[in-house]
């Protein structure tokens, strides 16, 4: 009987951990899709920024659920707290994506507001923060894998999170180089012509460098959730 309460508490924390992983698994791709449609399309206009805020809340809910697991582990808690902070920044910057879309939807004969640059900078910060959020989420998964008893999961998580972080760093470097080229038109001829001829390729490279770590992160989240359900709950969902 003395062991019943700690075991019940562990099962509750594992259940919340599994729910948090599920929220992240479904929330990550949904947030990215809605963010792209909010920035480029008009069909989300009737709902304004509400879908993006709701999905940002789903991601924060997932991280909050996961915080019930092993709260005494400092590296795990530190990674989770950083992810929560980045998630809150995402939530705060999300409305600027909708407002930036509204500015670009103005008729050609209408003068945009003088603070247009402010919305553009906010959207750029949102994109940067989204990449940092995914980067830190991989650290969270690495810390989680180190605490779970599945050796195969631990090895896979360690290897693939390292690859994901390298890809995201490469994405930031490519995006920064493209930004420098766009902002500095007086570059030497040899340096300016090469990116100009590869603009389409650079865009595709950035998309690949984002979608690859996103898909691998989702795979690791699903694998961790399945390992938890299998070991603690006998595979029950």
What pLDDT score does 141 carry? 94
pLDDT digits (tens, 9 = 90+) for 78-108: 999 999 999 999 999 988 888 877 776 555 5
Q: What are the tokens at 152?
A: 């195969």
CA distance readout (Å), 109 to 25, 91, 113: 44, 33, 13
- Give the separation between CA 233 and CA 237, rounded to whole angstroms: 8
The residue with greater pLDDT, 153 or 203, is 153
pLDDT tens for each residue of 111-170: 555 657 787 888 889 999 999 999 999 999 999 998 888 888 899 999 999 999 999 999
> What's the pTM value of the predicted model, to 2 decimals?
0.84
- Going by pLDDT thresholds of 50, 70 and 90, the confidence category of residue 195 is very low
Tens digit of pLDDT for each residue in 25-64? 999 999 998 888 877 766 555 566 788 899 999 999 999 9
pLDDT at 193: 45
pLDDT of amino acid 190: 45
Is residue 3 pLDDT above 80, yes or no? no
Contacts with 202 (C-beta within 8 Å, 6 or more apart), sequence order: 174, 178, 195
Position 194 scores a pLDDT of 45
pLDDT value for 188? 53
Query: Where are the domains positioned within the chain?
Result: 4-233
At residue 113, the pLDDT reads 59
Q: Quote the CA–CA distance of 64 and 61 in Å, as a whole number.
A: 5
Higher pLDDT, 42 or 70: 70
d(CA 32, CA 214): 10
Residues 105 and 103: their CA atoms lie apart, in Å, by 5
Distances (CA, A) of 225 to 20, 99, 102, 194: 9, 37, 39, 45
């Amino acid at each position: 009987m003395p062991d019943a309460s700690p075991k019940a508490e562990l099962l509750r924390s594992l259940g919340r951990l599994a729910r948090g992983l599920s929220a992240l698994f479904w929330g990550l791709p949904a947030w990215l899709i809605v963010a792209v449609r909010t920035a480029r399309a008009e069909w989300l206009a009737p709902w304004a920024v509400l879908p993006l805020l709701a999905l940002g809340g789903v991601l924060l809910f997932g991280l909050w659920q996961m915080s019930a697991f092993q709260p005494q582990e400092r590296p795990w808690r530190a990674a989770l707290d950083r992810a929560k902070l980045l998630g809150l920044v995402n939530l705060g910057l999300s409305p600027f994506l909708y407002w930036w879309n509204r500015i670009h939807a103005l008729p050609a004969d209408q003068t945009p507001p003088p603070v247009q640059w402010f919305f553009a900078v906010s959207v750029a910060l949102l994109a940067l923060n989204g990449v940092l959020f995914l980067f830190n989420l991989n650290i969270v998964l690495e810390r989680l894998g180190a605490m779970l008893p599945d050796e195969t999961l631990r090895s896979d998580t360690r290897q693939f999170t390292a690859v994901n972080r390298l890809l995201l760093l490469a994405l930031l470097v490519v995006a920064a180089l493209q930004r420098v080229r766009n902002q500095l038109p007086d570059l030497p001829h040899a340096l300016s012509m090469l990116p100009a001829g590869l603009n389409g390729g650079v865009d595709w490279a950035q998309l690949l460098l984002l979608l690859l770590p996103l898909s691998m992160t989702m795979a690791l989240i699903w694998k961790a959730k399945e390992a938890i359900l299998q070991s603690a709950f006998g595979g029950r969902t």
